[in-house]
Amino acid sequence: MTAEPNKRSEDGRGTRWNARVPLRFSMMEREMLVLTRKLNQEIVIGDEIRITIVAVGGDQVKLGITAPRSVPVHRLEVYQERQNDARALEKVVPA
């Protein structure tokens, strides 16, 4: 995983990341936009999806997701399990 260099700014308290320049990571030929949020702040995806930082504690972050019911939202491990189940079902019952 490689990160593009991010711009830095000097604010009298030392060097810090410039929040206006998002950090981007490349993972498996996909770019990932990395944003910093604080408790109760939100990220908006499109016009209908909002992700809210609900709680932060230890190594866990709780997210609240507001999205239309027609948009499936799953944790990655649940999504992968559902995909594997669907593939296994296709082998048993061909379409």
pLDDT tens for each residue of 9-44: 444 444 455 545 555 665 556 788 889 999 999 999
Are both 63 and 94 inside the same structural domain? yes
Are both 29 and 43 inside the same structural domain? no
Are both 58 and 88 inside the same structural domain? yes
pLDDT score of 14 = 47
Are both 12 and 42 inside the same structural domain? no
Residue with tokens 């910093």: 36
Are both 28 and 53 inside the same structural domain? no
Query: For residue range 56-84, what is the model confidence (pLDDT) as tens digits?
Result: 999 999 999 999 999 999 999 999 999 99
Are both 52 and 25 inside the same structural domain? no
Written as six digits, the tokens of 77 are: 């491990």
Are both 22 and 66 inside the same structural domain? no
The residue range of the domain holding 18 is 1-36
Are both 49 and 81 inside the same structural domain? yes
CA atoms within a 13 Å half-sphere pointing along the CA-CB vector of 59: 0
Residue with tokens 């189940």: 85
Distances (CA, A) of 57 to 15, 46, 66, 72: 26, 28, 21, 26
Are both 49 and 68 inside the same structural domain? yes
Say if strands 8-10 and 15-17 run parallel, antiparallel, or are unpaired: antiparallel
Are both 11 and 45 inside the same structural domain? no
Look at residue 1 and tell me whether its pLDDT is greater than 50.
no
